[in-house]
Structure 1
Amino acid sequence: MRAVRAQRGCGRRVRGRAAATGARTRCDPPVRVRAARAAHVRDDDVYLCDDDGLPAELGRLGGTGTALLADPALREIVLPILRNDYRLAERYRPTQGIRLRCPVTAMIGNVDPEVTGTEARRREEVTGAPFDLRVLPGDHFYLTPQRDAVVAEVVRRLVPAPAARTLGPSTP
């Protein structure tokens, strides 16, 4: 969605559909404390967690790779990447006044502790075109076990269905 907003901000026409997965919009209140997270960690401050806090956050969200972070060599490589990913997501603020003109599909996991259906539905506010929400089985990392369903949904939304052909009268 950021790329589509950037294109619109430059006056370019955007064709196709924007897809959003597993994240709240920045229309939501910026500071909310989750009950399962330490009280001093705000939703927009995860990137500031120490080197034990980031893996703990991944575990809270249902991440399966947290055991790999027990290896000090891998931890040294992976934690800066994770921290920068969180920083990018948490510090992004959309340009005000730019509404998308393309349809938007949001996809979330049905037991994602990070985003609710109500929060995901707020993405409808960013477009003047049709919006739909697809809820798939899984947690915040539903994309991994639901890969085939996600790809099928994206393809279904992007590739128009073939037009029905009418056949002329049959000839013997």
Structure 2
Amino acid sequence: MDTRWLAGAEPSSGAALRLFCLPYAGGAAAAYRPWRELAPPGVEVLAVELPGRATRVREEPYVRLTPLVRALAGAVADGLDRPFALFGHSMGALVAFELTRALRRMGLPMPRHLFVSAADAPDARPGESRLFDAPDEEVKARLRRLNGTPLHLLEDEELMTLILPTLRADFAVLETYEYREEPPLPVPFTVLGGTADPSVSPAALLRWRRHSAVSAELRLFAGDHFYLNTVPAELVRTVVERLGLPESVEGSRW
């Protein structure tokens, strides 16, 4: 695997299952760092690092989904030699979905499970105005409403100057995306969200059901759009349970 896409992490040859985690807009692999300690033995958490942030800050971020997914599929293809699952939050949910469809088209292994979090279904029309070319203050206002960016960061003009280009690129990935009809995926879905998410309602989450030919379960957690930052242990426990791993893999911490 191309370890640039995994924040430099070398996948373990002893993992029973690999969990690839995809970030939200503006997010980096570090968002999933606590999951590595929370995951039971045998489950390897591999957080995807996209270009334009953290260890890849000098690389140009993608502004369209199709080339991003194509590059990511090529980067992880060698790591699909054992059971794996995908987890994506917000923008990451769309990337995970389209990555799974790309793997199917390429004849590569399918994930055991697809976890899509805090995102409307891919065939739903966007409900808010686009941000990738909006004024800075409008972008900041949306970030405040979603409650995922610390206030001190939003008020730091110098830091926001550095962060906004990557954020705009990620918003362009989302806001220029065009859904194309394909058969439902032969993969079970778990759809996750926050009970107080101001941008993605439970009704919106339910729209994912038609995209799985197997099953789709809804699971809500207390919190807003960034609930995953406040209930990481509960969220990881839910992921492990939905994967149906044997106790020998889950370990005793549960």
Normalised TM-score (structure 1): 0.80
TM superposition shift of 1:128: 0.3
CA distance in 1, matches of 2:175, 2:121: 10
Counterpart mapping for 1:82-161 below 5 A? 82-161=167-246
| Residue 6 of structure 1: aligned partner | 102
Query: Is the Cα–Cα contact under 8 Å of residues 190 and 217 in structure 2 kept in the other structure?
Result: yes
CA distance in 2, matches of 1:84, 1:78: 10
CA distance in 1, matches of 2:151, 2:131: 16
- State the number of aligned residues: 152
Select 2:161's aligned residue among 63, 76, 79: 76
Query: Is the Cα–Cα contact under 8 Å of residues 23 and 115 in structure 1 kept in the other structure?
Result: yes
SS of corresponding position for 2:170: helix
TM superposition shift of 1:79: 0.9
CA distance in 1, matches of 2:212, 2:236: 22
Instruction: Kindly provide the amino acid, as one letter, of the partner of residue 106 in structure 1.
Output: V
CA distance in 2, matches of 1:17, 1:94: 21
TM superposition shift of 1:159: 4.5
CA distance in 1, matches of 2:203, 2:124: 10
CA distance in 2, matches of 1:142, 1:116: 13
SS of corresponding position for 1:138: coil
Query: Is the Cα–Cα contact under 8 Å of residues 58 and 66 in structure 1 kept in the other structure?
Result: no
Change in CA separation of 1:152 and 1:93 when aligned onto 2, cut-off 3 Å: farther
Instruction: Kindly provide the amino acid, as one letter, of the partner of residue 107 in structure 1.
Output: L
- Identify unmatched segments of 5+ residues in structure 1: 34-41, 164-172
CA distance in 1, matches of 2:188, 2:124: 21
SS of corresponding position for 2:227: coil
TM superposition shift of 1:67: 2.6
CA distance in 1, matches of 2:98, 2:151: 28
Query: Is the Cα–Cα contact under 8 Å of residues 100 and 111 in structure 2 kept in the other structure?
Result: no
CA distance in 2, matches of 1:122, 1:108: 13
CA distance in 2, matches of 1:66, 1:81: 18
- Between the two structures, name the one with larger relative contact order (CA 8 Å, sep ≥ 6): 1
TM superposition shift of 1:5: 1.3
CA distance in 1, matches of 2:106, 2:184: 13
Query: Is the Cα–Cα contact under 8 Å of residues 2 and 94 in structure 1 kept in the other structure?
Result: no
CA distance in 2, matches of 1:50, 1:8: 39
Q: Percent same amino acid among aligned pairs?
A: 30
CA distance in 1, matches of 2:238, 2:170: 25
Looking at CA atoms only, which structure, 1 or 2, has the larger radius of gyration? 1
SS of corresponding position for 1:79: helix
- RMSD between aligned residues: 1.9
Instruction: Kindly provide the amino acid, as one letter, of the partner of residue 106 in structure 2.
Output: C
Structure 1 stretches of 4+ moved >4 Å: none
SS of corresponding position for 1:46: coil
Query: Is the Cα–Cα contact under 8 Å of residues 123 and 179 in structure 2 kept in the other structure?
Result: no
| Residue 121 of structure 2: aligned partner | 25
